[in-house]
A and B are shown apart, each in its own frame.
Chain A
Amino acid sequence: MQLVVISGKGGTGKTTVAASFAYLNKESIKVDCDVDASNLNIVLQGENIASSQFIGAKIAKIDKNKCIECGKCSEVCRFGAIKNNKIIELKCEGCAACKAVCPVDAITLEDEVTGETIITKTDAGILSRAEMVVGAEGSGKLVTEVRKNAMEYRKNNELMILDGTPGIGCAVMASITGCDVALIVIEPTQSGLNDFKRILSLIDHFGVKPLACINKYDINEDMTLEIQKYCENESVEVLGKIPFDPIVQKAVNELKPVICYEDSIAGKEIKNIWENIYKKYKEGIL
């Protein structure tokens, strides 16, 4: 089973939940799909055992010696990436339109390194992750690569736990496609409900089974009820309600998964949620 922890929005507690799951099932393979702000390794720590550069895009280069400054390239560039016969790298999408119109073959497309993929051996098992080059594009491709790397370490069809990306764009799609189950972490706020509705449509779109849990449910119990009702109508099972717990902040600062704190009420609920998922998995329901 591939289980992705997702939220629509950032900061709802995805990593807190995913890191705890990782500890509760150490033999599972962990994947951090949040390639532009990868945090799972900060909690799980460990040692990097492999890494490689990832070429995820192309970028145009102009050979100054050949360029006759006719300006045709900047005329066709729809991304505003060519000014005064120079490429603005952050804006170039590597589409090759400029190359196609250059009368003197002064433009080439070169491979661009968009990130580094890393395998980290942690106390809680193997973690596949990446660090994206700041401002690079193609985060979806990098997520796909990180997931591919994880598969290499999956010898006996172990469980896979994926920490998803925020939003609903390309990186999120790359995080959830091909997963069996998506656990959506929802915050009981107006925007939390909004984001939940959007991510749920996306999950449905890709035929992934949705499950839900509400984090910090007691900061707004009316909203929690509204979300529960919404889930019921949409036939999404709510596996648990995690209470607001100051120990979570402490856990983040001490870089330990919250389930390691015995007196943490949030930790206890996360453990319940995990056991519920694991039971369903063993029974073949998930």
Chain B
Amino acid sequence: MKIAVLSGKGGTGKTTISTNLAKAMGWNYVDCDVEEPNGFIFLNPKVIKTEQVSIPVPEIDPSKCIGCQKCVNICQFNALAWANKDVLLFDKLCHGCGACSLVCGYGAISEVDREIGHIDVGNDEQITCMRGTLNIGEPMAVPIIRDLKKMIGNEKTIIDCSPGSTCSVVAAIEGVDYAVLVTEPTAFGLHDLKIAIELVRTMNIPFGIIINRGSHEKDLIEEHCEKEKINIIGKVMFDKDVAVLYSKGKLLVEHEKYKELFLHIGKKVEGEIACSLL
């Protein structure tokens, strides 16, 4: 069972919601925000295993290459170029699709692994935590997210996504059973939430909203959700104490009032998933 937490916009509290929900409910936690994985700061698991993530890139054997340039022509990402009677590889542009070796009729292209990041697996008291980290200077996050997703078992797992609605988020939420959209009650929040809603609707993923930094008054997110008949599954009030705890790398659920709140939200999520399966 996979539950994704996404937001459209950065800084809305995805990591706060996902780590606290995981801890309160005993769900496993996977940090798919591989550009800035921060969940481990709060859950602080003991890392027991680290694995490299690589993508296959072409290696050209000059003694076999006849210079037909078929590989250069098929490469859609400009990772191969023809220069000075040689095929030149720009490895960071390579998506590892293998098209070049498919078209080479002379067996001149083999593939070698190039590391782009790594995955850490760790244990908290009761839950398994995983995170992917993209190496600095690497443009492509998706292969790491794909590898992370393959490592998720059947247990209830919460997936912390990257901000926005790009291909990284698509890779992270693909195949999940439910999506939690975290937003804040501002014009920016609503603007970006609408984009996130469009994404989960396109992908046919059932979803609900959590408002972070909310107030007791009715806000623009609630108005929007009412109009669009979208479920709000929880609200975390604006509280400077939260900001202070966060800044120290502390979980909120260590405090009774937040523990109850996250247990309540978690049960609601479980209920929503059960309903969506009916």
Contact = CB atoms under 8 A, between A and B. Distances in A.
A64 interface: no
Q: Which 10 A-B pairs have the closest CB atoms?
A: A11-B11, A10-B10, A95-B97, A167-B35, A190-B249, A170-B139, A220-B247, A137-B167, A191-B38, A189-B247
A36 interface: yes
B247 to A, nearest CB: 4
A8 B10 CA distance: 10
Contacts of B77: 95
Interface stretch (A47-55, A96-104, A154-162, A273-281): A96-104
A244 B248 CA distance: 16
Contacts of A90: 170, 174, 202-203
A100 B99 contact: yes
24 contacts: A10-B9, A37-B8, A37-B165, A37-B191, A37-B192, A39-B188, A42-B188, A90-B174, A91-B170, A94-B76, A101-B102, A132-B165, A134-B195, A134-B202, A137-B167, A139-B164, A139-B166, A165-B164, A166-B164, A167-B35, A188-B247, A190-B248, A202-B137, A223-B247
Contacts of A10: 9-12, 163
A169 B77 CA distance: 16
A11 B16 CA distance: 13
- Counting chain B CB atoms within 10 Å of each CB, the highest count among A39, A140, A167 belongs to A167
B182 to A, nearest CB: 11
Interface of A: 8-12, 15, 34, 36-37, 39, 42, 58, 76, 78-79, 90-91, 93-97, 100-101, 109, 132, 134-137, 139-140, 165-173, 187-192, 194-195, 198, 201-202, 205, 216, 219-220, 223, 244, 249, 252-253, 255
A76 B164 contact: no
Given A140-B139, A190-B247, A195-B38, A253 B186 contact: yes
B18 interface: no
B179 interface: no
B249 A189 contact: yes
Contact of A134 (B136, B138, B199, B243): B199
B164 A96 contact: no
Contact of A42 (B99, B187, B243): B187
A269 B65 CA distance: 61
Contact of B36 (A135, A173, A198): A198
A198 B33 CA distance: 13
B167 to A, nearest CB: 4
A58 B76 CA distance: 8
A78 B164 contact: no
B95 interface: yes
